[in-house]
């Protein structure tokens, strides 16, 4: 599993959104399309400030 953090700006206000994903490959694909995904969600122009893809180290207890 991995998490993709997206820092973006809309109308001068900064936001952060995180996506929990099953595979790192999903994170790479979403990173390519994140501008479009956020535009569809907010219906206005979005400026991507940064993205961070991190693989989670899950250990069964």
Considering the entire predicted model, what is its pTM?
0.82
- Give residue 24's pLDDT: 87
How far is 1 from 56, CA to CA, in rounded Å?
6
Q: Is pLDDT larger for residue 41 or for residue 58?
A: 41
**31-45 pLDDT, tens per residue?**
889 999 999 999 999
Q: How many CA atoms lie within 13 A of 44 on its CB side?
A: 7
């Amino acid at each position: 599993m991995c998490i993709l953090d997206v820092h973006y700006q809309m109308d001068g206000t900064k936001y952060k959104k995180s996506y929990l994903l099953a595979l790192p490959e999903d994170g790479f694909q979403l990173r390519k399309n994140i501008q479009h995904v956020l535009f569809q969600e907010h219906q206005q122009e979005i400026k991507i400030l940064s993205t961070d893809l991190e693989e989670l180290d899950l250990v069964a207890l």
